[in-house]
Structures are given as structure tokens and as C-alpha cells.
Amino acid sequence: MLTQAVESYLSVRRTCGFALTSQGKFLRSFAAFSEAKGKEHVCSQTAIEWSGLARSVRGRAHRLNQVIRFARYIRAEDQRHDLPPAVFGSAYRGRPTPYIFSPEDIVRLVQAAARSSHPFRRQTYRTLFSLLSCTGLRVSEAIRLRFEDITPDGMLVRDSKFRKSRLVPLHETAREGLDRYIEYRRPYAPFDTHLFVSLRGTPLLVQDVEKAFSIAVGRMGIHRKHLPTPHSLRHTFAVRALEACPDGRERIAEHMLALSTYLGHGSVCSTYWYLEATPELMEHIAARCESFVTGGRP
């Protein structure tokens, strides 16, 4: 019974666009564990016992949180299911403050990437990092791009997070840079249509990009407790776009919605997160609030 309920829950949520790969494995494991103990409904004691099999406290909290979410869903139809208490604490780990590059730092990053010993590697990562900084793409989206995704209307990002596809406009300078790279890149892997490929002639992997980025950051001489990652370029793009937000309540709402759609966020809440997570934007918000309180424009 629990196994069927789990499959129903996963099917409904996947229809809404969630992949639930690891969550599905956890919940199937929980259902099998419960049924082996003769439980036909979610039982708090069994859920806590199963979650306790994880090695770390955070792992136990994560496991139990998956069961709690499932239990909330299934209890709407059958109150015989328990709603387990979160005895291991919250599984949520706060997102760190994003690292925001200055325009000068992005130039230095691209220049550092261009100092690789291999000419093709230089061109690949110089183009990739430039593209990430001026479009806000996720790394996973960029390395899946194919030649046919570069269209006259923009760049087509297919089946991204939440199984969404979107069209990303390209500035003429970005398009010119991509065109130059494509002509340079074709001879290296003529039978592969991925835009970015490695020296192996295969599509880039996320770990390839992370390693190249780390080397470039090291060349820049950045020494901080929380070093930037390739995703920091997406953070930077989002923050600069928010800084350009026009005045006026309706125009701000339209700007936020447009940016959320452009970035491929599943919810506009993910876009609003930058307002509270970025010191530069919080400073702007505080200044506007102070101006409003003292009689200035909101």
C-alpha cells in the first residue's frame, strides 16, 4: 500500500516538473522498510527509525523531511497516516551569500581563462565564461547547448531545470563572439554538435568547467573564505539586472517577473532571494526605505 502511495505522490509531483530522482529512491526505500515491518501506513516511529540509518544528523533530517512532505500529501486522503515530527531538526541549509563579480573582475577572469597552455582550451573557456557572464545561464545549460540552439532570435535552452525550455536573447557582440568560436571549434570535434567540447572531443562536463574556473580564479589572486564558483557568474548577472530595475511598483513587478522567466526560475521567489542575500542590493533597499521614511519618494 505504501509503495503504491509513494508512486502516486512521485507521479503527481513529476507532472508538476520536479525530477525527484534522489527523493524517489529515498521514499521507495522508506516504503520497503515500512512494509517489511508490516506497516501499511506512515508510522512516525518507523519513519524515525528509517531516517536514523543515515550516518550524519543532516542526512537523517533530510531523509525524515522527505517522509514528512510525503505524509502531508497522503494524509489529505487518509488520516490514518502519521505526520512524523522533525526530531532531527531542519534539513534546510541556508544558501551562502553569493559572490558578485565587478565588471573589472569579469574581464580579469576571462583574461585568466585565456592563459591556458592549449590554444583550443583558451578559446573554449574564454568564450564559455564570457557567455555565462552576459546571459546568466546555468553551467549545465551552457554545456548542453548545440549548434542548432543558436538561432536568429536568440539562444534556445532546452529542457532545463523543471523541464522548461526558454529562448535567451543574445546581444550582437555575444553573437559575434559565439560565431568566431564556432568556426574555430568545428575542426576539433566535427561529428559532435555540442557547442562546447573538451580536448577529448567530447562534451564538457560540469567538473571540467569547475576545474578550469578554479584555475582562472587562482590566477586572479582571489583569496577569500568563500571563493566564487562558476554559478557566481549567474548570481552576478541577476544582481546587475536587479540593479537596473526601473522605478514604480508596477514596473518593478514586471521587471522581476521578466527576469525570473529569463533566468528559468521555477518561482519568482527564487529571484526575490537575491534582494535579501546580496549586501549591495540590501544597501540600496535600506537607502530607499530611509528616503521614504524621511519624506522622499518610495
Angle between helices 231-243 and 268-277 (to 10 degrees): 90
CB hemisphere CA count around 257 (13 angstroms): 6
Q: Is 3 exposed, middle or buried (0-12, 13-18, 19+ CB in 10 A)?
A: middle
Report the predicted TM-score, pTM, of the whole model to 2 decimal places: 0.67
The answer to whether 57 touches 88, Cβ cutoff 8 Å, is: yes
Residue 90 near residue 64 (C-beta atoms within 8 A)? no
* Spatial separation of the C-alpha atoms in residues 205 and 217, rounded to whole Å: 19
Give the least confident one: 20-24, 98-102, 141-145, 221-225: 221-225
Give the type of residue at 287.
Answer: A
Greatest mean pLDDT among 12-16, 17-21, 115-119, 269-273 lies in 115-119
The count of residues in the chain is 298
- Give the residue-averaged pLDDT of 279-291: 63
Confidence label for 20 from pLDDT (cuts 50, 70 and 90):
confident
* CA nearest to 5, candidates 75, 74, 63: 74
Residue boundaries of the structural domains of the chain: 2-75, 95-298
Q: Which of 16-20, 37-41, 120-124, 130-134 has the lowest mean pLDDT?
A: 16-20
| Residue 123: predicted pLDDT | 95
Taking only the tens place, the pLDDT of each residue in 174-187 is 999 999 999 999 99
| Residues assigned a catalytic role | 138, 161, 231, 234, 265, 274
State the pLDDT at residue 240. Answer: 84
Tens-digit pLDDT profile for residues 24-70: 899 999 999 999 999 999 999 999 999 999 999 989 999 999 999 99
pLDDT at 1: 81
Can you tell me the mean pLDDT for 204-214?
Answer: 95
Q: Which fold has domain 95-298?
A: hpI Integrase; Chain A (1.10.443)
Q: Is the confidence at residue 196, as pLDDT, over 80?
A: yes
Ramachandran angles phi, psi of 194, nearest 5°: -65, 140
Element (H, E) at 293: helix 279-293
- Cβ atoms of 259 and 166 within 8 Å: the answer is no
The confidence score (pLDDT) of residue 166 equals 87
DSSP 119-188: HHHHHHHHHHHHHHHHH---HHHHHT-BGGGEETTEEEE-S-GGG--EEE---HHHHHHHHHHHHHHGGG
Residue 297 has pLDDT above 60, yes or no: no
Sheet with 150-151: strands ordered across: 150-151, 154-157, 166-168
Lowest mean pLDDT among 58-67, 160-169, 207-216, 231-240: 160-169
Residue 66 CB burial class (10 angstroms; 0-12, 13-18, ≥19):
buried
Quote the CA–CA distance of 96 and 226 in Å, as a whole number.
9
pLDDT in the model for residue 289: 61
> Which grid coordinates belong to 233?
557568474
